[in-house]
Structure 1
Amino acid sequence: MPRTDLAPICPRIQIAGIIDREEADLLVRLGVDSLGFPLRLAVHAPDISDADAAHVIASLPPHVAAVVITYLTNPDEIIALCDALGTARVQLHADVPPAVPAALRALRPDLRIIKSLVIPHGCDDALPNSIVERINAFAPHVDAFLTDSTDPTTGATGATGRIHDWRLDRAIVEASPIPVIIAGGLNPTNVRAAIRAARPAAVDAHTGVEGPDGRKRADLVKTFIREAVSGFSDIA
């Protein structure tokens, strides 16, 4: 069953795509609750090596969560990756059956699991039955859902910088018995509106707080945090 101690699995603000220790330290200083490390990806190249990610994760203070974001589908390989990196939090981004998180839960009851729900490109304001079915199938085996956007030109289902209809996020929040984190093109200028529209448990950003060089920019992260906090205050 999903856990009821939601704070560790649902930080209010997660930033993904950590490049190095310097970037991680910056985000921690600015007040980010959770750092995401995309590895074993289907389209994008990893932002960091396994060894460097493990080093960064070992340096994080206890109140900052480290989440492995992966397209791996084999439970044993997922657990091995988490163990190698030194974290017990994983975001499953591949199109896996519910049996995968169920197996992870059986093998490692301490593992906190987030399952992505990718919004199809061109989806209108009606939530597809397929997503409702996935919510019902996965909810007993995971701790939270994360919504994201797809890029039909590249096939990417994350870190696309694309926004989807937040009414769909709201529908997912209302349909889900467990917390929902929203992502997909969030940036300092739209995160407050997204929170007000969807009423999620948390938000996640990647490319929306980066400069042209692909590194997180302190000014963008500061503004993102300020606007996100205001958004959560609006819906409190």
Structure 2
Amino acid sequence: MTEAPAPVLKVCGATAPQDIEVLAAAGADRVGLWHGVPGGPADLPERELTALAAAARATGVLEPVLVTFLDDPDALAGAARRAGVTRLQLHAYQPPAFVRALRAALPDAVLIKVLHVRDGNCLERPLIGAYERAGTDLFLLDATAGDGRVGSTGLRLAESDVLALAERFTLPFWLAGGITPRSRADCAAVADHPRFCGIDVDTAARDGRGRFDADAVTALARAWRTARHPVPYPKEHP
């Protein structure tokens, strides 16, 4: 058993090369690239996904994560291969069978499944075990809006709800939803959890005009990279 790396900082929603430059210089570890998110403000056609993924890898410090609502595992696997992306975040309600098919198609990929929480209840709770058995590597816990919106809602999960949900599975997890540098102090028990391994942010990494802000990203990195845990990881740190 070895000491795990400091928690990962993933910033979601890059759409241009300058976004990649800002995030890499400011301390982000992962960049979320949207593809197959109909109507999403940061949704990228495959050509741009491929170009930005290459730009992220070229920084030597930033790894791309394909964030998607796609429900066709063959189409998603094909897009990931062509873009050279090995981390995929399933940010919708894809069933365990989808994860199993994707795992068969991409045996070496890191598969991140979002668990959606609304009013303290995890909508995928009955399927958590099935997601683990299907080949999920990492869960991302995120808040769902009352109107059903998922992703970049800015809504914060109660620490007690996160800790209770974490008892339902055995995998490492990331936390999303209304995260700021100041919220680190209010999430001490989550940050100290032995399987917590990162945060996923969007709005908190931007300025008032909606652009990625280096100071904001650096503040997030400094606030949340305070805990290391002696936990085993079956793959490279997600």
State the TM-score bracket (shorter-chain normalisation): 0.7 to 0.9
TM-score, normalized by length of structure 2?
Answer: 0.84
Moved over 4 A (4+): 4-8, 233-236
Q: Secondary structure at the match of 2:100?
A: helix
TM-score, normalized by length of structure 1?
Answer: 0.84
Q: Which residue of 2 aligns with 1:147?
A: 141
Q: Secondary structure at the match of 2:167?
A: helix
Aligned residue identity for 2:53: I
Q: Secondary structure at the match of 2:21?
A: helix
Aligned residue identity for 2:128: I
Q: Which residue of 1 aligns with 2:130?
A: 137
Whether the 8 Å contact between 1:43 and 1:156 is mirrored in structure 2 is no
Whether the 8 Å contact between 1:188 and 1:221 is mirrored in structure 2 is no
Q: Secondary structure at the match of 1:188?
A: coil
Instruction: Pick the aligned partner of 2:162 from 149, 169, 179.
Output: 169
Matched residue count: 225
C-alpha distance in 1 between matches for 2:156 and 2:74 = 33
Higher relative contact order (CA 8 A, sep 6+): 2
C-alpha distance in 1 between matches for 2:94 and 2:29 = 27
CA deviation map 1:200-220 (0-9, x unaligned)? 221111112212222111111
Structure 1: gaps spanning 5 or more residues: none
Q: Secondary structure at the match of 1:175?
A: coil
Q: Which residue of 2 aligns with 1:94?
A: 92
Instruction: Pick the aligned partner of 1:197 from 166, 190, 198.
Output: 190
CA deviation map 1:31-70 (0-9, x unaligned)? 2111111221155233544323321211224443211000
Q: Which residue of 1 aligns with 2:217?
A: 221
Alignment of 1:66-81 (within 5 A): 66-81=64-79
Give 1 or 2: higher helix fraction.
1
Q: Which residue of 2 aligns with 1:12?
A: 8
Alignment of 1:57-72 (within 5 A): 57-59=53-55, 60=57, 61-72=59-70
Q: Which residue of 1 aligns with 2:116?
A: 118
CA deviation map 1:60-96 (0-9, x unaligned)? 2444321100000111111122123221210111212
CA RMSD of aligned residues (A): 2.8
